[in-house]
């Protein structure tokens, strides 16, 4: 029963954070909500008996991908005075709602730990990381190789697109 309540709370947090994220005007404020939504999704994965997927969701999505977004957003600080931005970042209104949503999530996890039935998903069977690993490197070994090739292609593509001289050459064409 508790797992059900936790699921609905986490689902509410996910949807609320997602809606707030796509309605922001400032990209870095939106990314705070994105982190909250991704953490809420990780809680749902955990409740569904997939602890390894939950951990990966936090490490790769909330950790790596959102940080990549943040780097680009901060890099592209398009002409605005950074002092104003910093001041705007520190106003209370921007921090309260994402923090409240994150607090709800924290309360959910805390409640799950305190109430002692964090094995709640085990009734339907917890899928251990060991099983996932075995499936990944036996049945799906070709898919793993394809994912590796895809990541290599993305690496080369990102490197190519990030080069500066593509933009410089265009400037030369314009001036000539």
Partner 1 sequence: MMPPTEHVLVLALMLFCVGAVGVLVRRNIIFILISLEFMMNACAMVFIAAGAKWGQPDGQVMFMLILAIAASEVAVALGIVIQMARRFRTLDVDAVSELRE
Exposed/middle/buried for residue 6 (C-beta within 10 Å: 0-12, 13-18, 19+): buried
Contact 129, 51 (CB under 8 A): yes
> How would DSSP label each residue in 103-132?
HHHHHHHHHHHHTS-TTGGGGG----HHHH
Count of C-beta atoms within a 10 Å radius of residue 17: 27
Name which of 100 and 158 has its Cβ closer to partner 1.
Answer: 158
**CB of residue 41 to partner 1, shortest distance in Å:** 5
Name which of 92 and 160 has its Cβ closer to partner 1.
Answer: 160
**CB of residue 56 to partner 1, shortest distance in Å:** 6
**CB of residue 96 to partner 1, shortest distance in Å:** 21
Residues listed for the chain:
176
- Going by the DSSP 8-state scheme, the letter that residue 138 receives in this structure is T
* Of the candidates 8, 21, 34, the residue with the CA atom closest to the CA atom of residue 104: 8
Name which of 92 and 165 has its Cβ closer to partner 1.
Answer: 165
Name which of 100 and 150 has its Cβ closer to partner 1.
Answer: 150
Euclidean distance between CA atoms 151 and 156, whole angstroms? 9
**CB of residue 27 to partner 1, shortest distance in Å:** 5
**CB of residue 175 to partner 1, shortest distance in Å:** 14
Q: How many CA atoms lie within 13 A of 20 on its CB side?
A: 24
Name which of 68 and 107 has its Cβ closer to partner 1.
Answer: 68
């Amino acid at each position: 029963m508790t797992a059900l309540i936790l699921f609905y709370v986490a689902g509410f947090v996910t949807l609320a954070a997602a809606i707030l994220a796509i309605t922001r005007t400032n990209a870095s404020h939106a990314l705070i909500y994105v982190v909250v939504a991704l953490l809420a999704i990780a809680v749902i994965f955990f409740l569904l008996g997939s602890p390894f997927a939950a951990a990966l969701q936090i490490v790769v999505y909330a950790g790596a991908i959102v940080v990549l977004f943040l780097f680009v957003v901060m890099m592209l600080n398009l002409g605005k005075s950074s002092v104003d931005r910093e001041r705007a970042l520190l106003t209370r209104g921007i921090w309260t709602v994402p923090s409240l949503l994150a607090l709800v999530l924290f309360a959910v996890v805390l409640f799950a730990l305190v109430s002692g039935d964090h094995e709640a998903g085990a009734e339907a069977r917890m899928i251990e990381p060991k099983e996932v690993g075995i499936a990944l490197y036996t049945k799906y070994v070709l898919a793993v190789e394809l994912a590796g090739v895809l990541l290599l292609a993305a690496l080369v593509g990102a490197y190519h697109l990030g080069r500066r001289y593509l933009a410089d050459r265009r400037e030369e064409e314009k001036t000539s």
